[in-house]
Chains A and B, each alone.
Chain A
Amino acid sequence: MTLMLTGVLRAATRGLLAFAVAASPSEGAAQTAPTRPAPTATAPPAPVVAPRQTQADDYTRYELLDPASTSFRIIYEVTATTPGARHFWNAIRKGSAASNESVTDPASGLPLKFIEVSGPEAKTNGFASADPDTRYIQIDLPRAVPNDGEIRLLIDKTYKDEKSYFVEPDTGFVVFARSLGVRRNSVVLPPGYEVVACNYPSQVVSETSATGARVRLSFMNIGADSVSYVVKARRLK
Protein backbone atom coordinates (compact mmCIF):
# COMPACT_ATOMS: atom_id res chain seq x y z
CA MET A 1 0.00 0.00 0.00
CA THR A 2 2.80 2.39 0.87
CA LEU A 3 4.44 1.66 -2.43
CA MET A 4 1.21 2.28 -4.29
CA LEU A 5 0.54 5.55 -2.48
CA THR A 6 4.04 6.74 -3.17
CA GLY A 7 3.52 5.93 -6.83
CA VAL A 8 0.30 7.90 -6.96
CA LEU A 9 1.95 10.92 -5.41
CA ARG A 10 4.80 10.70 -7.87
CA ALA A 11 2.37 10.50 -10.74
CA ALA A 12 0.52 13.54 -9.46
CA THR A 13 3.77 15.41 -9.12
CA ARG A 14 4.52 14.69 -12.75
CA GLY A 15 1.13 16.05 -13.66
CA LEU A 16 0.04 12.88 -15.34
CA LEU A 17 -3.53 12.77 -16.51
CA ALA A 18 -5.22 9.88 -14.82
CA PHE A 19 -8.58 8.30 -15.26
CA ALA A 20 -10.22 6.64 -12.35
CA VAL A 21 -12.60 3.78 -12.65
CA ALA A 22 -15.91 4.47 -11.05
CA ALA A 23 -17.79 1.53 -9.66
CA SER A 24 -19.65 1.66 -12.91
CA PRO A 25 -21.78 -1.06 -14.40
CA SER A 26 -20.48 -0.25 -17.86
CA GLU A 27 -17.83 -2.20 -19.71
CA GLY A 28 -15.19 0.27 -18.66
CA ALA A 29 -16.64 3.71 -18.18
CA ALA A 30 -14.04 6.09 -16.90
CA GLN A 31 -14.12 9.43 -15.21
CA THR A 32 -11.46 12.00 -14.64
CA ALA A 33 -9.78 11.62 -11.31
CA PRO A 34 -9.19 14.69 -9.22
CA THR A 35 -5.61 15.79 -9.28
CA ARG A 36 -3.69 15.57 -6.04
CA PRO A 37 -1.44 18.47 -5.06
CA ALA A 38 2.22 17.68 -4.86
CA PRO A 39 3.56 17.29 -1.32
CA THR A 40 5.99 19.88 -0.04
CA ALA A 41 8.62 19.71 2.65
CA THR A 42 6.54 21.83 5.00
CA ALA A 43 3.15 20.28 4.33
CA PRO A 44 1.58 18.20 7.08
CA PRO A 45 1.45 14.46 6.45
CA ALA A 46 -1.38 13.55 4.11
CA PRO A 47 -3.87 10.98 5.32
CA VAL A 48 -3.34 7.55 3.89
CA VAL A 49 -5.93 6.96 1.17
CA ALA A 50 -6.19 3.85 -0.94
CA PRO A 51 -5.35 4.73 -4.54
CA ARG A 52 -8.16 4.70 -7.01
CA GLN A 53 -7.85 2.33 -9.91
CA THR A 54 -6.78 4.33 -12.94
CA GLN A 55 -6.84 3.35 -16.58
CA ALA A 56 -6.36 4.77 -20.07
CA ASP A 57 -6.62 4.09 -23.80
CA ASP A 58 -9.94 2.24 -23.58
CA TYR A 59 -11.33 0.86 -26.83
CA THR A 60 -14.20 -1.58 -27.08
CA ARG A 61 -15.23 -3.69 -30.04
CA TYR A 62 -18.68 -5.27 -29.90
CA GLU A 63 -19.19 -8.16 -32.30
CA LEU A 64 -22.86 -8.95 -32.63
CA LEU A 65 -23.44 -12.70 -32.69
CA ASP A 66 -26.45 -14.55 -34.10
CA PRO A 67 -29.38 -12.29 -33.15
CA ALA A 68 -31.29 -15.30 -31.86
CA SER A 69 -28.60 -15.69 -29.18
CA THR A 70 -29.06 -12.12 -27.88
CA SER A 71 -25.32 -12.31 -27.29
CA PHE A 72 -22.37 -10.24 -28.35
CA ARG A 73 -18.66 -10.62 -28.01
CA ILE A 74 -16.76 -7.80 -26.33
CA ILE A 75 -13.11 -7.25 -27.07
CA TYR A 76 -11.92 -4.58 -24.69
CA GLU A 77 -8.53 -2.95 -24.81
CA VAL A 78 -7.58 -1.11 -21.65
CA THR A 79 -4.40 0.00 -19.95
CA ALA A 80 -3.83 -0.21 -16.20
CA THR A 81 -2.04 2.94 -15.03
CA THR A 82 -2.15 2.88 -11.24
CA PRO A 83 1.51 2.77 -10.20
CA GLY A 84 2.30 -0.29 -8.15
CA ALA A 85 -1.04 -2.02 -8.82
CA ARG A 86 -0.95 -5.83 -9.07
CA HIS A 87 -4.59 -6.33 -10.01
CA PHE A 88 -7.07 -4.78 -12.38
CA TRP A 89 -10.82 -5.02 -11.94
CA ASN A 90 -13.23 -4.93 -14.86
CA ALA A 91 -16.92 -4.61 -14.08
CA ILE A 92 -19.48 -7.06 -15.40
CA ARG A 93 -22.49 -4.96 -16.23
CA LYS A 94 -25.64 -5.75 -14.34
CA GLY A 95 -28.14 -7.54 -16.51
CA SER A 96 -25.46 -9.11 -18.66
CA ALA A 97 -24.42 -12.73 -18.29
CA ALA A 98 -20.72 -13.11 -19.05
CA SER A 99 -19.06 -16.15 -20.58
CA ASN A 100 -16.02 -17.12 -22.67
CA GLU A 101 -13.81 -14.72 -20.74
CA SER A 102 -10.13 -14.48 -21.35
CA VAL A 103 -7.45 -11.89 -20.69
CA THR A 104 -4.23 -11.42 -22.63
CA ASP A 105 -1.12 -9.34 -22.08
CA PRO A 106 -0.55 -7.70 -25.49
CA ALA A 107 3.08 -7.02 -24.62
CA SER A 108 3.86 -10.74 -24.34
CA GLY A 109 0.90 -12.34 -26.05
CA LEU A 110 0.47 -14.55 -22.99
CA PRO A 111 -2.82 -15.21 -21.23
CA LEU A 112 -3.30 -13.69 -17.80
CA LYS A 113 -4.95 -15.29 -14.81
CA PHE A 114 -8.23 -13.88 -13.60
CA ILE A 115 -11.14 -14.76 -11.39
CA GLU A 116 -14.66 -13.47 -11.10
CA VAL A 117 -15.34 -11.77 -7.78
CA SER A 118 -18.19 -10.00 -6.04
CA GLY A 119 -18.06 -6.31 -5.24
CA PRO A 120 -17.24 -6.89 -1.57
CA GLU A 121 -14.52 -9.36 -2.56
CA ALA A 122 -13.06 -6.83 -4.99
CA LYS A 123 -13.04 -4.23 -2.23
CA THR A 124 -11.36 -6.58 0.18
CA ASN A 125 -8.76 -7.40 -2.46
CA GLY A 126 -7.87 -3.75 -3.02
CA PHE A 127 -10.47 -2.14 -5.28
CA ALA A 128 -11.60 0.51 -2.83
CA SER A 129 -14.40 1.95 -4.97
CA ALA A 130 -15.94 -1.40 -5.88
CA ASP A 131 -19.73 -1.38 -6.10
CA PRO A 132 -21.05 -4.02 -3.67
CA ASP A 133 -23.78 -4.97 -6.14
CA THR A 134 -21.52 -5.45 -9.14
CA ARG A 135 -19.41 -8.43 -10.08
CA TYR A 136 -15.91 -7.99 -11.45
CA ILE A 137 -13.26 -9.78 -13.39
CA GLN A 138 -10.19 -9.55 -11.16
CA ILE A 139 -7.08 -9.81 -13.29
CA ASP A 140 -3.62 -10.70 -12.00
CA LEU A 141 -1.28 -8.26 -13.68
CA PRO A 142 1.95 -9.84 -14.94
CA ARG A 143 4.00 -7.34 -12.93
CA ALA A 144 3.34 -4.27 -10.81
CA VAL A 145 2.45 -1.23 -12.87
CA PRO A 146 5.71 0.71 -13.16
CA ASN A 147 5.86 4.25 -11.83
CA ASP A 148 6.73 5.50 -15.28
CA GLY A 149 4.80 2.92 -17.19
CA GLU A 150 1.58 1.06 -17.72
CA ILE A 151 0.26 -2.41 -18.41
CA ARG A 152 -1.92 -3.04 -21.41
CA LEU A 153 -4.69 -5.60 -21.25
CA LEU A 154 -6.92 -7.29 -23.79
CA ILE A 155 -10.13 -8.57 -22.24
CA ASP A 156 -12.30 -10.85 -24.35
CA LYS A 157 -15.74 -11.89 -23.16
CA THR A 158 -19.23 -12.69 -24.39
CA TYR A 159 -22.31 -11.08 -22.92
CA LYS A 160 -25.84 -12.35 -23.20
CA ASP A 161 -28.18 -9.42 -22.69
CA GLU A 162 -31.60 -9.44 -24.31
CA LYS A 163 -32.22 -5.86 -23.22
CA SER A 164 -29.23 -4.62 -25.19
CA TYR A 165 -29.43 -6.89 -28.23
CA PHE A 166 -32.75 -8.01 -29.59
CA VAL A 167 -35.06 -8.16 -32.58
CA GLU A 168 -37.56 -5.32 -32.83
CA PRO A 169 -40.97 -6.96 -33.09
CA ASP A 170 -42.71 -4.49 -35.38
CA THR A 171 -39.90 -4.10 -37.92
CA GLY A 172 -37.87 -7.28 -37.61
CA PHE A 173 -34.76 -5.09 -37.35
CA VAL A 174 -31.94 -6.29 -35.16
CA VAL A 175 -31.26 -3.68 -32.48
CA PHE A 176 -28.15 -3.07 -30.42
CA ALA A 177 -29.00 -0.45 -27.79
CA ARG A 178 -26.55 0.10 -25.00
CA SER A 179 -25.16 2.94 -22.94
CA LEU A 180 -21.47 3.12 -23.75
CA GLY A 181 -19.15 4.91 -21.36
CA VAL A 182 -15.89 4.10 -23.08
CA ARG A 183 -14.71 6.92 -25.34
CA ARG A 184 -13.81 4.79 -28.38
CA ASN A 185 -16.06 2.01 -29.58
CA SER A 186 -17.04 -0.07 -32.56
CA VAL A 187 -19.99 -2.32 -33.24
CA VAL A 188 -19.73 -5.05 -35.85
CA LEU A 189 -22.95 -6.30 -37.42
CA PRO A 190 -23.56 -10.00 -37.93
CA PRO A 191 -22.57 -11.28 -41.37
CA GLY A 192 -25.23 -10.65 -43.98
CA TYR A 193 -26.77 -7.63 -42.26
CA GLU A 194 -26.90 -4.00 -43.39
CA VAL A 195 -27.14 -0.95 -41.17
CA VAL A 196 -30.40 0.98 -41.41
CA ALA A 197 -30.09 3.27 -38.41
CA CYS A 198 -27.43 4.65 -36.12
CA ASN A 199 -28.14 7.48 -33.70
CA TYR A 200 -24.60 8.71 -33.00
CA PRO A 201 -22.18 9.90 -35.70
CA SER A 202 -20.13 6.88 -36.67
CA GLN A 203 -17.76 5.84 -39.36
CA VAL A 204 -18.93 2.92 -41.47
CA VAL A 205 -16.36 0.37 -42.56
CA SER A 206 -16.65 -2.97 -44.31
CA GLU A 207 -14.55 -5.84 -43.11
CA THR A 208 -14.20 -9.37 -44.28
CA SER A 209 -14.23 -12.37 -42.03
CA ALA A 210 -14.32 -16.12 -42.34
CA THR A 211 -18.08 -15.91 -42.00
CA GLY A 212 -18.54 -13.26 -44.68
CA ALA A 213 -18.49 -9.50 -45.13
CA ARG A 214 -19.47 -7.49 -42.09
CA VAL A 215 -20.22 -3.83 -41.51
CA ARG A 216 -18.48 -2.10 -38.64
CA LEU A 217 -19.65 1.18 -37.10
CA SER A 218 -17.06 3.07 -35.15
CA PHE A 219 -17.26 6.23 -33.10
CA MET A 220 -15.40 8.44 -30.69
CA ASN A 221 -17.37 10.02 -27.90
CA ILE A 222 -16.03 13.53 -27.50
CA GLY A 223 -18.46 14.49 -24.77
CA ALA A 224 -18.33 13.97 -21.05
CA ASP A 225 -21.29 11.64 -20.72
CA SER A 226 -21.97 8.14 -21.92
CA VAL A 227 -23.54 7.64 -25.32
CA SER A 228 -26.88 5.86 -25.47
CA TYR A 229 -25.91 4.12 -28.65
CA VAL A 230 -28.55 2.57 -30.88
CA VAL A 231 -27.81 0.66 -34.06
CA LYS A 232 -30.42 -1.08 -36.15
CA ALA A 233 -29.75 -3.58 -38.90
CA ARG A 234 -31.65 -5.85 -41.20
CA ARG A 235 -30.74 -8.98 -43.06
CA LEU A 236 -29.73 -8.53 -46.69
CA LYS A 237 -31.88 -10.54 -49.03
Chain B
Amino acid sequence: MTRRFPGWAGAALLVGLGAADAFAQTAASTRAGTLQDPAYAERARQDREIVYFLEPPETHSFALYHDVTIRDEGRSTYINVVRAGSKIKNPSAVNLDTGEPLKVETLRGDEITKAGIDLGEPVTLVSEAAVVRFPAVAKGTTTRIRIRETYTDPARYRLSGDLLVWDRSFGRPQNAVILPEGYSLVGSSFPVRISLTGDHRIRLDFVNPRNDEVRALIHARKR
Protein backbone atom coordinates (compact mmCIF):
# COMPACT_ATOMS: atom_id res chain seq x y z
CA MET B 1 0.00 0.00 0.00
CA THR B 2 1.24 3.42 -0.77
CA ARG B 3 0.50 6.69 1.01
CA ARG B 4 1.08 8.87 -1.99
CA PHE B 5 -1.71 9.85 -4.33
CA PRO B 6 -2.08 12.84 -6.57
CA GLY B 7 -4.82 15.33 -5.84
CA TRP B 8 -6.77 16.31 -2.80
CA ALA B 9 -8.73 13.07 -2.46
CA GLY B 10 -5.61 11.07 -1.94
CA ALA B 11 -4.17 13.62 0.40
CA ALA B 12 -7.34 13.66 2.45
CA LEU B 13 -7.30 9.91 2.67
CA LEU B 14 -3.75 9.84 3.85
CA VAL B 15 -3.78 12.37 6.59
CA GLY B 16 -4.18 10.48 9.79
CA LEU B 17 -4.34 12.18 13.14
CA GLY B 18 -0.64 11.72 13.66
CA ALA B 19 0.63 12.36 10.16
CA ALA B 20 3.19 15.10 10.33
CA ASP B 21 2.07 16.81 7.19
CA ALA B 22 0.74 14.62 4.48
CA PHE B 23 0.20 17.59 2.22
CA ALA B 24 3.83 18.54 2.50
CA GLN B 25 4.87 14.95 1.91
CA THR B 26 2.65 14.67 -1.09
CA ALA B 27 3.87 18.00 -2.36
CA ALA B 28 7.40 16.68 -2.27
CA SER B 29 6.38 13.92 -4.61
CA THR B 30 4.95 16.25 -7.20
CA ARG B 31 6.36 19.06 -9.22
CA ALA B 32 6.12 22.27 -7.29
CA GLY B 33 4.48 25.18 -8.98
CA THR B 34 2.10 23.15 -11.09
CA LEU B 35 -1.63 22.87 -10.66
CA GLN B 36 -1.05 19.27 -9.53
CA ASP B 37 0.70 20.58 -6.44
CA PRO B 38 -1.40 19.78 -3.34
CA ALA B 39 -0.93 23.38 -2.32
CA TYR B 40 -3.68 24.02 -4.83
CA ALA B 41 -6.00 21.40 -3.35
CA GLU B 42 -9.43 22.92 -2.87
CA ARG B 43 -9.49 23.40 0.87
CA ALA B 44 -13.19 24.23 1.10
CA ARG B 45 -14.02 20.90 -0.58
CA GLN B 46 -12.15 18.92 2.07
CA ASP B 47 -14.44 17.37 4.61
CA ARG B 48 -12.02 16.10 7.24
CA GLU B 49 -13.23 17.13 10.66
CA ILE B 50 -12.08 16.41 14.19
CA VAL B 51 -13.39 17.12 17.67
CA TYR B 52 -11.21 16.79 20.77
CA PHE B 53 -12.68 16.27 24.22
CA LEU B 54 -10.04 17.16 26.77
CA GLU B 55 -9.85 15.16 29.97
CA PRO B 56 -8.30 16.77 33.06
CA PRO B 57 -4.85 17.99 32.04
CA GLU B 58 -3.04 16.01 34.73
CA THR B 59 -4.05 12.87 32.80
CA HIS B 60 -2.50 14.21 29.57
CA SER B 61 -5.39 12.45 27.82
CA PHE B 62 -8.07 13.47 25.41
CA ALA B 63 -10.76 11.59 23.58
CA LEU B 64 -11.53 12.50 20.01
CA TYR B 65 -13.40 11.57 16.94
CA HIS B 66 -12.54 12.41 13.39
CA ASP B 67 -14.52 11.96 10.20
CA VAL B 68 -13.22 11.34 6.74
CA THR B 69 -14.73 10.45 3.40
CA ILE B 70 -13.01 7.68 1.47
CA ARG B 71 -13.30 8.36 -2.25
CA ASP B 72 -10.84 5.99 -3.91
CA GLU B 73 -12.52 3.11 -5.68
CA GLY B 74 -11.39 -0.21 -4.26
CA ARG B 75 -9.92 1.21 -1.06
CA SER B 76 -10.79 -0.79 2.04
CA THR B 77 -8.49 0.55 4.76
CA TYR B 78 -7.83 3.85 6.45
CA ILE B 79 -4.56 4.22 8.29
CA ASN B 80 -4.21 6.62 11.14
CA VAL B 81 -0.55 7.13 11.96
CA VAL B 82 -0.08 8.05 15.61
CA ARG B 83 2.04 11.12 16.09
CA ALA B 84 5.40 10.46 17.74
CA GLY B 85 5.10 11.09 21.47
CA SER B 86 1.42 10.12 21.54
CA LYS B 87 -0.22 6.86 22.53
CA ILE B 88 -3.70 5.72 21.64
CA LYS B 89 -6.16 3.45 23.35
CA ASN B 90 -9.67 2.21 22.69
CA PRO B 91 -9.80 2.97 18.97
CA SER B 92 -13.13 2.28 17.33
CA ALA B 93 -14.77 3.24 14.08
CA VAL B 94 -18.15 3.37 12.47
CA ASN B 95 -19.40 3.64 8.94
CA LEU B 96 -21.37 6.87 9.11
CA ASP B 97 -23.37 5.94 6.02
CA THR B 98 -24.79 2.83 7.65
CA GLY B 99 -24.11 3.18 11.36
CA GLU B 100 -22.29 -0.14 11.33
CA PRO B 101 -19.19 -0.58 13.49
CA LEU B 102 -15.94 -1.18 11.64
CA LYS B 103 -12.98 -3.33 12.56
CA VAL B 104 -9.99 -1.40 13.91
CA GLU B 105 -6.55 -2.77 14.66
CA THR B 106 -3.74 -1.03 16.45
CA LEU B 107 -0.42 -2.09 14.98
CA ARG B 108 2.96 -1.37 16.46
CA GLY B 109 6.55 -1.70 15.23
CA ASP B 110 7.12 -4.91 13.27
CA GLU B 111 3.38 -5.58 13.06
CA ILE B 112 3.15 -2.62 10.71
CA THR B 113 5.89 -3.96 8.46
CA LYS B 114 4.47 -7.47 8.48
CA ALA B 115 1.08 -6.12 7.46
CA GLY B 116 2.70 -4.45 4.48
CA ILE B 117 1.62 -1.00 5.54
CA ASP B 118 3.61 1.97 4.34
CA LEU B 119 3.47 4.78 6.91
CA GLY B 120 5.37 7.09 4.62
CA GLU B 121 8.16 7.19 7.18
CA PRO B 122 10.58 4.64 8.62
CA VAL B 123 8.90 2.11 10.90
CA THR B 124 10.53 1.96 14.34
CA LEU B 125 9.83 -0.07 17.46
CA VAL B 126 7.61 2.74 18.76
CA SER B 127 5.74 3.33 15.52
CA GLU B 128 2.02 3.03 16.03
CA ALA B 129 -0.92 3.09 13.64
CA ALA B 130 -4.61 2.39 13.80
CA VAL B 131 -5.91 0.54 10.76
CA VAL B 132 -9.62 0.81 10.01
CA ARG B 133 -11.04 -1.79 7.67
CA PHE B 134 -14.26 -1.43 5.71
CA PRO B 135 -15.86 -2.89 2.59
CA ALA B 136 -13.99 -1.75 -0.50
CA VAL B 137 -15.34 1.46 -1.95
CA ALA B 138 -17.41 0.54 -5.00
CA LYS B 139 -17.20 2.38 -8.29
CA GLY B 140 -19.24 5.57 -8.25
CA THR B 141 -19.59 5.60 -4.45
CA THR B 142 -17.81 6.99 -1.42
CA THR B 143 -17.66 5.89 2.21
CA ARG B 144 -17.79 8.22 5.18
CA ILE B 145 -16.23 6.89 8.38
CA ARG B 146 -15.77 8.13 11.95
CA ILE B 147 -12.84 7.04 14.08
CA ARG B 148 -12.89 7.42 17.86
CA GLU B 149 -9.75 7.19 19.97
CA THR B 150 -8.30 8.32 23.24
CA TYR B 151 -4.84 9.80 23.10
CA THR B 152 -2.26 10.44 25.74
CA ASP B 153 0.33 13.08 24.94
CA PRO B 154 2.26 14.28 27.99
CA ALA B 155 4.41 16.73 26.06
CA ARG B 156 1.66 18.54 24.21
CA TYR B 157 -1.21 18.34 26.68
CA ARG B 158 -0.26 19.12 30.23
CA LEU B 159 -0.64 21.22 33.32
CA SER B 160 1.91 23.99 33.81
CA GLY B 161 1.42 25.32 37.30
CA ASP B 162 -2.32 25.97 37.40
CA LEU B 163 -2.49 26.51 33.65
CA LEU B 164 -3.89 23.94 31.25
CA VAL B 165 -1.64 23.90 28.18
CA TRP B 166 -2.61 22.39 24.83
CA ASP B 167 0.06 22.82 22.20
CA ARG B 168 -0.59 20.76 19.11
CA SER B 169 -0.77 21.40 15.41
CA PHE B 170 -3.82 20.92 13.24
CA GLY B 171 -3.73 19.84 9.61
CA ARG B 172 -7.45 19.59 8.99
CA PRO B 173 -9.60 22.46 7.76
CA GLN B 174 -12.06 22.08 10.64
CA ASN B 175 -11.04 21.31 14.19
CA ALA B 176 -12.75 21.69 17.55
CA VAL B 177 -11.45 21.45 21.09
CA ILE B 178 -13.72 21.11 24.10
CA LEU B 179 -12.16 22.08 27.41
CA PRO B 180 -12.51 19.87 30.47
CA GLU B 181 -15.42 20.62 32.74
CA GLY B 182 -14.68 23.48 35.13
CA TYR B 183 -12.06 25.22 32.97
CA SER B 184 -12.29 28.72 31.54
CA LEU B 185 -10.46 29.83 28.41
CA VAL B 186 -7.68 32.36 28.94
CA GLY B 187 -5.70 32.03 25.72
CA SER B 188 -5.84 30.83 22.14
CA SER B 189 -3.06 31.68 19.72
CA PHE B 190 -5.18 30.83 16.69
CA PRO B 191 -8.44 32.72 16.04
CA VAL B 192 -11.37 30.63 17.19
CA ARG B 193 -15.10 30.77 17.50
CA ILE B 194 -16.22 30.04 21.03
CA SER B 195 -19.40 28.46 22.30
CA LEU B 196 -20.82 26.51 25.21
CA THR B 197 -21.62 22.83 24.84
CA GLY B 198 -24.80 21.33 26.18
CA ASP B 199 -22.94 20.26 29.29
CA HIS B 200 -21.56 23.78 29.82
CA ARG B 201 -18.02 23.16 28.61
CA ILE B 202 -16.15 25.70 26.51
CA ARG B 203 -15.80 24.71 22.86
CA LEU B 204 -13.26 26.27 20.49
CA ASP B 205 -13.73 25.93 16.75
CA PHE B 206 -10.74 26.34 14.48
CA VAL B 207 -11.07 26.79 10.74
CA ASN B 208 -7.89 26.84 8.74
CA PRO B 209 -8.69 27.72 5.12
CA ARG B 210 -5.13 27.11 3.96
CA ASN B 211 -3.43 23.87 2.93
CA ASP B 212 -0.99 23.89 5.80
CA GLU B 213 -0.80 23.09 9.47
CA VAL B 214 -1.49 25.59 12.20
CA ARG B 215 -0.22 25.63 15.75
CA ALA B 216 -3.05 25.59 18.24
CA LEU B 217 -1.77 26.83 21.57
CA ILE B 218 -4.54 26.94 24.14
CA HIS B 219 -4.39 28.08 27.75
CA ALA B 220 -7.17 27.52 30.26
CA ARG B 221 -7.53 27.80 33.98
CA LYS B 222 -9.74 26.06 36.48
CA ARG B 223 -12.55 28.27 37.73
Contacts and interface: CB of A to CB of B under 8 A. Distances in A.
Given A201-B207, A202-B191, A204-B185, 18 more contacts: A194-B184, A194-B185, A194-B186, A194-B223, A196-B196, A197-B194, A197-B195, A198-B192, A201-B205, A201-B206, A202-B193, A203-B191, A204-B187, A204-B188, A206-B219, A220-B191, A236-B184, A236-B223
Interface in B181-209: 184-196, 202, 205-207
Contacts of B219: 206
Majority secondary structure, B binding face: strand
Of listed A197, A204, A237, residue having the most chain B CB within 10 A? A204
Contacts of A199: 193
Contacts, number: 53
A236 B202 CA distance: 14
Contacts of B196: 196-197
A24 B202 CA distance: 35
A219 B190 CA distance: 10
B194 A198 contact: yes
A12 B140 CA distance: 56
Majority secondary structure, A binding face: strand
Contacts of A8: none
A214 B205 CA distance: 22
Nearest to A215: B186
Chain A interface size, under 10 / 10 to 19 / 20 to 34 / 35 or more: 10 to 19
Contacts of B191: 201-203, 219-220
B185 A195 contact: yes
Contacts of B186: 194, 204, 206, 213, 215
Given A194-B223, A197-B195, A236-B223, A203 B190 contact: yes
Nearest to A203: B191
Chain B interface size, under 10 / 10 to 19 / 20 to 34 / 35 or more: 10 to 19
B194 A205 contact: no
A53 B58 CA distance: 56
Nearest to A201: B191
B223 A201 contact: no
A202 B195 CA distance: 12
B193 A200 contact: yes
A184 B57 CA distance: 33
Interface in A189-237: 194-206, 213, 215, 219-220, 236-237
B72 to A, nearest CB: 32
Of listed A196, A215, A237, residue having the most chain B CB within 10 A? A196
Nearest to A236: B223
B85 to A, nearest CB: 26
Contacts of A213: 186
Contacts of B185: 194-195, 204, 215
